[in-house]
Each structure stands twice: as structure tokens, then as C-alpha cells.
Structure 1
């Protein structure tokens, strides 16, 4: 699971608000130009994002392994044509789904740079400054809890799976193995939730805590220029000339 890694890359030095805006602009432009030529260009842009965060494509994709089967399933299912009394295969029908899946993969790669270079507290501070009022505070808290809670749940499931394999669980059927891992995972998730609730009460959880100060620097000028360029590209693609 991707998480924040301290570093001194260009992306590490950017204000989290700049990175959030750049992500949104990249996703918008990629959805406008979902063509082979357009996605080829956005592949280069995504590579620039990865280089700015000093994150390898392999590590970025590895962080989203649970999502990859769904990205592959779309094109595979689309080629199957169910006809009366027969089932056919139309390879040409996979073109659109393949492009759409690759577009999502590029967006995930760019979001991986954000997760790799942004501390959780800064993410919460950025969201609360971008979304004013109580909705922003609620959204900031939710994002912070997900970033901290999800890696723990995945680690718990991994430990349960390894423990089951060590106890010759691999000789059981797939359904039995899934039942053991799912039941143990749910129990641990509920236990984690109880611990989280107790920790929040013990720390006198507040809606408006003291968050880190965010400040735009010189490096953000580059990030905002890239964001403006991506927004311009998206607008040109949407607005008829």
C-alpha cells in the first residue's frame, strides 16, 4: 500500500494544494482526450509526475494491485457477445474499454505520486483550506482516517493469510480459505474501529485542531503552471472551436 515517504524531490517540496489541483487537472484532461494519441501524450505527462516524486512506475502500480483485476476485466468482458443460442467474440469491441482502463491507470499513477510525497496531516490541512466550513473539516478527517486506517487493515489481512498458510491452510479449498481470511479480517477491522474510537476520545478529538501551516513556494509556480496548462488542454477539448 502506498504511503508517505520522506524525501527532498520536487514533488515533496510542493504545497499539497498544488498537487491536489494538478491531479484534478490531469484527470479532467485525460478524460477529455481518451484516444490513443491523447493517452500517449498523457503517458509522458504521467512519467514527468513520477519523476518529480522520484517514484518508479512499478512501485506506483504495485500500490494499486487490488484495482488491476477490475481494469483488466472491463476489456475482457466487452469482447464477449452473448447471442441467442451462442456466444461470440468481437475483439474490436475492446478498444474503448482498453483505452478507458489505461486512462484510469494513468490517473492512479499520478495519485500515487501525491500519496508518496504528502504527509497525512498536510493532506487534511489542504482539504480543509480548499473546502471551507464544516464540510471541509469532515472531508479532511475522513481522508486522514482512510490514509491511516486502510494500510493497517491490509497488513492485518496479510498477517491472517500468512498465518493460515503456515498452519497448512493452503491445503483447504479456496472457499474455506476465503472464509477464514474474511472472518478474521472483519474481526480485526471491528477491533481496530473500537481502538480508534477510544483513541479519539482519549485525545479529546477536535473538529478544528492545529494543522501544519501551508505556504506556496517557488516550486509551486512550476506546479501551478502545469496545472493551468492541463486545464487549458481540457477546456480546448470540451469547448468547440
Structure 2
């Protein structure tokens, strides 16, 4: 049995889902996949179920009744992974913005080099983003710098969604207390791991914007990150649950 599980949340990813599954499974026997689908009306879940016949014991699906946010999808996936005794648990997008080949480097950073959490970082060595308009690059980079300044974390890509956790990190974090549901979820998970003293490393990757399907980014997601981070930091100063 593989000791690593790649969690991929999906909503209307029919254009990408088969290709991303085949790409991850083709790497080696290290990685199994859990698709967490939020009742996609485009047939994403049905395609995954068809592919399960080709990849028994490697591909799993968790069907949710509705779309309730990226954070809640990952929390459901984390709990499934812990119950299934995986040792290394990954976050990854379905749209190829995260290169599947980099899973190996994130895995090695934890399994071989001793990190508790490895982050596929767009900003550890300059700005490594392809196909984004400059306005979005500046927004993302500025957001990471803002979070770094407010929280004190020595992490360049605080909003990254390409991550490997050792299971002990997820076991130490009370997943039921995670408050953010959008992209700020990524910040909250890193901050909680940081507060608990886990070894966090950044692995440089090149982020390539999706070429198929639609982005799920919205103004509400951005405001959650900007205003929520300050509140999260203030609570941590008073030793309250963040």
C-alpha cells in the first residue's frame, strides 16, 4: 500500500480530471489519489468513478452534496486520509497549475529530508508564475508578503495550495477548529503548523495558470484572507485558538 495520498478537490473539472489522475498515477507507486468532489454538475464524479475501474486501490472518491468551500473539502479529505493510515498527505489542484512531477520533490522533502510540511513555493526564488496577468501576480505576491509580515512566519508563499504534510501535523491540528473556507484556509493551516513548531520548508516550483476550465477565485475569497489574517494573529497573541 502507498504511504502517500494526493487530495484533489474538484468542482466542474471534467476537462482536466482524467489527465491529472493519469499524470499522478503514472509517476510511481508512491501516490494514491482521493478526489473530493462537490457534486459537480458537469459529470466530474462520474468520470472519476469510471477511472476507478482502471486504477483499483489507487484512486478513491469522496462525494459531497454541495459546494461549501475549498477548506471544508480539504478537511474532509484530511480526515479520510488519517482514517486510512496515510503517512504523507498532499494538497493539489486539478487544473495542472501544480506540476504533478513536483509531487516527488515535495515527498522527498518530508520523507527523506526530515521536513514536517513541504510547500510548493512560487516565491522562494523570485516569482515563478506562468500565464497570469501582472495584476494577479502582484495581488498574490503582495498577499503573501502581507501575511508574512502580519504573522511573522518565515514563509515566502503563504497562500500556496501545493503542500505535503506528515500525518503528525494534521493529527496535531484540531481540524474541526479551522475557520476559513476559501483560499485563506491555506494560510490558516500554515500558521497553525508554524505555531506548533513543525519544520516547514519551501520547495521552488513553477506555477502555471489553468488552460482549461474556470478559476474559482472571487473577491470574497480575497477579503477573507486580508481581514481574517489580522484577526487570526491577534487571537494567537492572547493564546486563543486561532
Superposition TM-score, scaled by structure 1 size: 0.24
State which structure, 1 or 2, has the greater radius of gyration over its C-alpha atoms: 1
Would you tell me which structure has more helix in proportion to its own residues? Answer: 1
Superposition TM-score, scaled by structure 2 size: 0.24
